[in-house]
Structure 1
């Protein structure tokens, strides 16, 4: 996995699926609060007047010149849980983000949330 500092440099670059279809633009990085490692990113999608941010796992992601290629297809990402461009992910919505991609979800040992925006 790449370091959080490195992926931050990719903000504003295209996000593509494994078939190289453009999904949107990388907006932010979310780290696992237990490890401080990047696990999700938000991608800006939608029409110019109706943008929203969808969540996508960074597992098996790869960077290329000007893009971030993810291991999920465009349709699955576009159907993922989303927030408004000025919104925030609520703690009670984290489980749905993980479930959408078939990933296990577990709160922190003290009941704290799992994801933090960086």
Structure 2
């Protein structure tokens, strides 16, 4: 898995799909609250005057100079549920993000949220 300190340096990097198509710009990271492992990245997509933030899983991501290549294709990421402008992911929205990427969602043992902005 990636070191959290390294991930902070990725802010502003291009996020690419497996074919090298630009999806957007890397903004922030969300960690799994049980393990503190980086799990999702916030990606800013769209034009500067009309943009939105979505999450994409980091599992299988590859990092290169100035880019982060994720294993999900541009259309799937662009169709992910968007975060409210400038807001963090709400706990109630977590299951939708996991479902969108066909990932199993399971809250913590006592119902606590699964993701936290790192």
Fold match, TM over 0.5?
yes
Gaps of 5+ in 1: none
Question: What do residues 1-45 of structure 1 show as CA deviations (whole Å, max 9, x unaligned)?
Answer: 211111111011100000000000000000000000000001000
Q: How far apart, in 2, do the equivalents of 1:35 and 1:28 lie?
A: 18
Aligned residue pairs total 118
Give SS of 1:46's match: strand
Q: How far apart, in 2, do the equivalents of 1:66 and 1:49 lie?
A: 23
2:23 — aligned with what?
23
Counterpart check, 1:103 vs 2:106: no
Q: How far apart, in 2, do the equivalents of 1:114 and 1:5 lie?
A: 21
- Report how far residue 85 of structure 1 moved: 3.6
Is the contact between residue 28 and residue 43 of structure 1 (CA under 8 Å) also seen in structure 2?
A: yes
- Report how far residue 81 of structure 1 moved: 1.1
TM-score scaled by structure 2?
0.97
Question: What do residues 60-80 of structure 1 show as CA deviations (whole Å, max 9, x unaligned)?
Answer: 001001100000100000001
Which stretch has the larger CA shift, 4-13 or 36-45?
4-13
1:6 — aligned with what?
6
Give SS of 1:7's match: helix
1:113 — aligned with what?
113
1:57 — aligned with what?
57
1:84-99 matches, cutoff 5 A:
84-99=84-99
- Report how far residue 84 of structure 1 moved: 3.1
TM-score scaled by structure 1?
0.97
Question: What do residues 63-112 of structure 1 show as CA deviations (whole Å, max 9, x unaligned)?
Answer: 00110000010000000111134112111100000000000000011111
